[in-house]
Structure 1
Amino acid sequence: MDTGWYSAWRDEAFDQLDAKNMRLENDFRLGHWARYDYDLTDGKLRFSEDGVIKVVADIQIAGTTSAKAGNWRWGWADSNVPTQIISDAKLARSFGELSGLDELTQAFVTDTDDVEALGWGLTAVMVRICDALGAYRCPRSEGGGLYLTIKTIDWAS
C-alpha cells in the first residue's frame, strides 16, 4: 500500500490543529484558566477559576505519552479507559488499518527523542480524522501527557 502521502498529510493535520487550538484559546481562553479537571467517566473537561467552572468541553482520549518509556500509547489500547471516550481513537485505528499506517494501528509508538512532538502529531491526526474542534494536553506526574480531543465546548451556564 502506498503511504507516501501520509507525511505531508500528517504535517497538514498538525497545522490544522494549531489553528483550531488558537481559535479555542481566543474564544474560550484555553490555557489561561487557573485550573482544569477532567472526568473520564462522563467525558468532560472543565476549566475553572476561583472554584467556579467557566468552560466545559466534551472530550475523547487520543492517547498518552511517557517521558520515561519514550513512547505514545493510543487510548484504544488502554483497558482502563471507558469505551465511550475512545470511539474516536478507534476511528483513527480503523483509518490506519485501511491506509496501511502502522503508527495508527500499533498500541505503542516509540520516539525517545521528543515524545511531546509525537503526542501532538498523533493527536493532530486523530483530530483531522474525527473532525474534532481541537485538543488539550494534561501533564502527567512522571513526565509526558494525556492528550484529549475536544468534540464540543461552551461556556458553563
Structure 2
Amino acid sequence: MGEGEMEPNWYSAWRDEAIEQLESKNSRLEKEFRIGHWSRYDLKNGSLLFSQDGATKVITGIQLAGSTNAKAQNWLWAWANLNLPDSLLRDARLVRSFGEKNNIRELTQPYVIDAENELEVLGWELTAVMVRICDALGAYRSPQGEGGALFYVLKSVNWAG
C-alpha cells in the first residue's frame, strides 16, 4: 500500500469472515458432491464437469476468479486477463466494482503481489472475497502446472443426469 492509501477499517475482518465462509461452503460441497475427489474435470461452455471413469458425475456453473503464478509470485484477477472468455468474468468485474466503491486496492489492481510467500493462501483468500461478494456456493482450484493455478467460483452444483 502506498502513502495515504488505507483500505477501509472493516475490510480486514470482513475478509477473514469471507475466508471462514468459504471453508464451510467448500466442506459442504465436499460432503455433498465429493468436489475434489473426482478423477478428472473439464471446462465446457462455462461449466466445470467432474467425471470418474469417463462418466460425468457433477456439473458446476462457474465464474473465474483469477490465477496464481509461482514464477512471478503473484495473483492475476480474471477481469484483467485478456485470454479468458468474457462470459466467465461477470463476477470478477463485480469484485472490481466493489473494490472501487470501497477503495480496496487489492480488488482493483490487476496483479496482487504475494508479500508472505504464501501464494496458494493468497489465491484462496482473494477467491473467498469473490465468493462472498457474489454470494457463490463455493470455489475450486485447478492446477495449471508450472506452479500456477486457476481459481473458479462455483455458482451452481448439480449431480449429472
Q: Do both share a fold (TM > 0.5)?
A: yes
TM-score range, shorter chain: over 0.9
The equivalent position to 1:30 in structure 2, one of 20, 35, 54, is: 35
Give the corresponding residue for 2:98: 95
8 Å Cα contact 1:115-1:144 kept in structure 2:
no
Q: Distance in 2 between matches of 1:118 and 1:96?
A: 17
Residue 110, structure 1, aligned to residue 113, structure 2: yes
Pairing of 1:1-157 with structure 2 (within 5 A)? 3-39=8-44, 42-111=45-114, 113-157=117-161
Deviates more, 1:108-117 or 1:69-78: 108-117
Which runs of 5 or more structure 1 residues have no equivalent in the other structure? none
Stretches of 4+ aligned residues off by more than 2 angstroms: none
Q: Which amino acid aligns with 1:80?
A: N
Alpha-carbon distance, 1:71 to partner: 0.2
CA shift digits 1:95-133 (9 cap, x unpaired): 000000000000000005111111000000000000000
Secondary structure at 1:148 match in 2: strand
Q: Which amino acid aligns with 1:16?
A: Q
8 Å Cα contact 2:18-2:132 kept in structure 1:
yes
Which runs of 5 or more structure 2 residues have no equivalent in the other structure? 1-5
**TM-score scaled by length of structure 2:** 0.94
**TM-score scaled by length of structure 1:** 0.96
RMSD (Å), alpha carbons = 1.0
Deviates more, 1:100-109 or 1:136-145: 136-145
CA shift digits 1:128-151 (9 cap, x unpaired): 000000000001111121000000
Matched residue count: 155
Q: Distance in 2 between matches of 1:117 and 1:24?
A: 20
Q: Distance in 1 between matches of 2:143 and 2:128?
A: 17
Alpha-carbon distance, 1:63 to partner: 0.1
Q: Distance in 1 between matches of 2:149 and 2:88?
A: 17
Q: Distance in 2 between matches of 1:66 and 1:5?
A: 29
